[in-house]
Amino acid sequence: MRFLVRRLLLAVPVILLVTIMVFSLLHLLPGDPATVILGQEATPEAIDAMREELGLNQPIVMQYLKWLGGVLQGDLGRSLVDHSPVSELIWQRLPATLELTIGTFVVALLIAIPAGILSATRPNSWIDYTSTFFALGGMSVPHFWLGMMFIVFFAVKLGWLPASGYVPFTENPLANITAMIMPVLATGLRESAILMRMLRSSLLEVMHADYIRTAYAKGHKESFVIFRHALKNALVPVVTTSGLIVAGLLGGLVITESIFSIPGFGKLIVESIYNRDFVTVQGAILVCALMVVMVNLLVDILYAVIDPRIKVGKEAEQ
C-alpha cells in the first residue's frame, strides 16, 4: 500500500510538469503567437482579437493557472479552426486510436510470446535463428513503409483489402476489421519484434536458473516448467517493455493513421499542425502525455503485483 501511495505521489509533480511543458508550447512559437497563428498579412484588429481569445494579454502565470483550471474541468479550449471544443474533438477521435492501439498490441503479443518461447527454449536451432532474424528485421523496418508496401501488395495488386478509410465497429464490424488489418499488422509486426527479443533474452536467463533445473529434475514436463515457472519470472522485463511499447505506439500511430486515413487522435495532431490550430495541438498532446503517465503508473503497479520483491525492495528502502 505504501508503495502504491508513494508511486501515486511521485506522479503528481510529473503531471504538473507535463502541463507546464504543454502550456509552454504556445509560447515557444517564434514571435507573437497570435501573429504566427494568423500569418503576417493579418490586420492589427484580428491579431488583437486573437490575443484576447488566447488570453495572451494577461501575465503568463495567470494564463497558466487559468488554462490549468480549465484542464482540470475538462475544458481544453476551443479549436482555432471551427471553434468546437477541443475535448470534444479528442473524444470523437479517441475510439479509432484506441482500437488501433489495442489491435496492434494484441498482434504484437500473439506473435512475440510463442516466437519468444520457442526461440529461448531451443537456442541455436533453426527456429531460434529464423525468429531472431525476423526480430532484427522487424525492429529495423520503418512501420510506415511496411504499411505502404502492404497497400501496394494487398490493396493495389491483390485487391483483397481496402487501401485506406475507417468504418466504426458499431456501424459495420466486417468493414471495420478489414480496414484495420493492414494498419494493425504494419505497426504490430515491429512491436512484436521488440517484445520477442525481450522475452527471449529474459527467458534464456531464467531457463538457466537453479529452480528450473530442479523442476526438470522432479520430472515435470517441459511445457509445465515453462508456463508454470519460467514464464512468470521472465515476464517482469516484458511487462516494463509493454508499457514503453504502448507509450511509443501512441506516437507511432500518428503516421499509421495518416497513411491509412484513419480519423484518429494522431491524425488530429498532424491536421492541427498543418492548420496552425495550436490550441488543439496543445490539448491533444496533453491528453497523449497524460495517457502515457497513466500507462506507466499502471505498469509500475502491475510490476509490483507480478514480482513482490519490487514492492518489498521499495518499501525497505524507505
Partner 1 sequence: MSQTVIDSQQPVQTAAQAESQWRLFFRRFAKNKLAIVGALIFCALLATAIFAPLIATHDIYEQDYNSVLAKPGNGHLFGTDDLGRDVFSRLVYGARLTLQVAIISVGIAVLIGVPIGLITGYYRGVWDEWVVMRVVDAMQAFPSLILALAMAAALGGGFYNAMVAIGIGFLPSFIRITRAQVMTVRNLEFVQAAKAIGASDWRIMFRHVLPNSMAPLLVQITLAMASAIIAEAGLSYLGLGAKPEDPSWGSMLHIAQGYLNIEPLLAVWPGLAIFLVVLGFNLLGDGIREVLDPKLKR
Cell of residue 144, nine digits: 510506415
Closest contact distance (angstroms) between CB of 133 and partner 1 is 10
Q: How far is the CB of 207 from partner 1 (least distance, A)?
A: 12
5-36 core/surface letters (b: 16 or more CB in 10 A; e: else): eebeeebeeeeeebbeebbeebeeeeeebbbe
Q: 273 vs 298, which CB is nearer to partner 1?
A: 273
CA angle 184, 189, 194 (to 5 degrees): 130
Nearer to partner 1, 42 or 220 (CB): 42
Closest separation in Å from C-beta 303 to partner 1: 16
Closer to partner 1 by Cβ: residue 118 or 220:
118
SS3 (DSSP) at 41? coil
CB 102 within 8 A of CB 180: no
CB of 35 to partner 1, least distance (A): 13
Residues linked to residue 78 through DSSP beta bridges, in sequence order: 85
Q: What are phi and psi of 94, to 5 degrees?
A: -60, -40
CB of 31 to partner 1, least distance (A): 11
Nearest C-alpha neighbor of 190 from the set 79, 88, 104, 82: 104
| Helix, coil or strand: residue 209 | coil
**φ and ψ at residue 85, rounded to 5 degrees:** -60, 135
The distance of closest approach from Cβ of residue 170 to partner 1 in the complex, given in angstroms and rounded to an integer, is: 28
Minimum CB distance to partner 1 smaller for 103 or for 138: 138
Neighbours of 269 (CB within 10 A): 24
For partner 1, the closer of residues 20 and 110 by Cβ is 20
> Binding residues for partner 1, per CB under 8 A?
10, 13-14, 17-18, 21-22, 25-26, 28-30, 123-124, 136-137, 139-142, 144-145, 148-149, 151-152, 156, 163, 201, 204, 247-252, 254-255, 258-259, 269-270, 272-274, 278, 281, 285, 288-290, 292-293, 296
Question: How many Cα atoms within 13 Å fall on the side-chain side of residue 170?
Answer: 2
Nearer to partner 1, 137 or 168 (CB): 137
